[in-house]
Amino acid sequence: MARGNFLYLQLYNELKEKIENGTYQEGAKLPSDEELTNLCNVSMITVKKALGILKDEGMVQRIPGVGTFVKKRNPVNAEEEKAEIVQPATKKIGVVLEHVSSSYGLDLLYKIDQLAEEKGYKTLFRFSYYNRDKENDEIDFLINSKIDGLIVMPCHGMYYNPKILKLILKGFPVVVIDKKLDGISVPSVRTDNKQAIQVLVKDLWEQGCKRIGFASAEIVGTSSLQERRNGFYEAAKEYKLETLPECSLSFDEIIYDHPVSRENIETAKKYLEEHKDKIDGIVCAEYSLLPAIMEASRESSAGVGEKIKICCVDGPSGLPITRMKQNEIAIADKVVSLLLAQINGSKTETDIMVPAILVSGSN
């Protein structure tokens, strides 16, 4: 079951579906609050919130000390009853992200929702999954849903999305995450990518590394990766470290659990076999490249994580290697503040960079 603020909605939807499909028939008693807590592995507060919505919609009746029962409804009057419910106008914020994972995005998503809720806004989340056409579709969906403002993490690419530019030019409230749109006056919030990599290079230097390499996916049209690359070479120069040729891997757009790309493993293996006797440190521009490099090291006995230190940006909690964690809570706070300021007619800053946080590993 999903986490955080969405748990009660998922439980509500599951119970509603079971009532509508007859699993729980009219007059039937639902499992007790305690039973639902144990069955669904959620808190008592979550259960009460979900049941409260069902009660407000007239689907169940809560009898203190007895239980919760499915209410009998008059089919003839059901639509009339529904029509009589006057819904107050809802203020809405739309959010389009590329995707979220345990490595990056979940805390950002939950914090945006929490902060918006505190200000009286409901949040509609959509995902582009790195596809520009889908990004356009989701933006259209949100605009048609009468959102008051848009938060968007644009897809990677050499060109800006015309649909986003059109909204900006029309004066519609927009805040961009993770990208800087050069030449476009639009508020953006992103990690200080140069600082993130510079801290990692310094950490390798402090561990005694002298010859280091940079591993990255394709950089063309990706401002965040270009900034990380620049930070790598600037820091290497500052600490007088020798830089070896880069390890360039393919960007993997598949976001669900799947075997590591064989192509990337072979590329990384070739790189390690060529440089393993010289290189003593590797900086990965992003966590998604790490599995291919570690598998390549295992197959070639290169010793990555042992004699060759390795570090990266992002990564799940508990990762045994040193990483830079993007400060998703701070990013969310800035993003929501900027968007609400625009909605309220205030002029806002155009580019905010949030420092990343060093999380030391054991390698």
Span 44-72, pLDDT tens digits = 888 888 898 888 888 888 877 678 888 76
Residue 176's pLDDT is: 94
Q: How far apart are CA 14 and CA 273, in angstroms?
A: 53
224 vs 343 pLDDT, higher one: 343
- Report d(CA 128, CA 58) in Å as an integer: 36
Q: Which domains does the chain have, with CATH numbers?
A: 4-84 (1.10.10.10), 91-190+327-355 (3.40.50.2300), 193-325 (3.40.50.2300)
Q: What is the mean pLDDT of residues 194-214?
A: 97
91-97 and 242-243 beta bridge pairing: unpaired
Task: Read off the pLDDT band of 339 (50, 70, 90).
Answer: very high
Residue 257: its pLDDT value, please? 54
In this structure, what token pair is assigned to residue 271? 């790189």
Helices (H), 57-124: 75-84, 106-118
**By the 8 A CB rule, do 188 and 175 touch?**
yes
The tens digit of pLDDT for each residue in 170-190 reads 889 999 998 877 777 889 999
Which residues share a beta bridge with 131? none
Q: Does 143 have pLDDT greater than 50?
A: yes
Per-residue pLDDT at 4 exceeds 80: no
pLDDT over 70 (residue 76): no
pLDDT of 223 above 70: yes
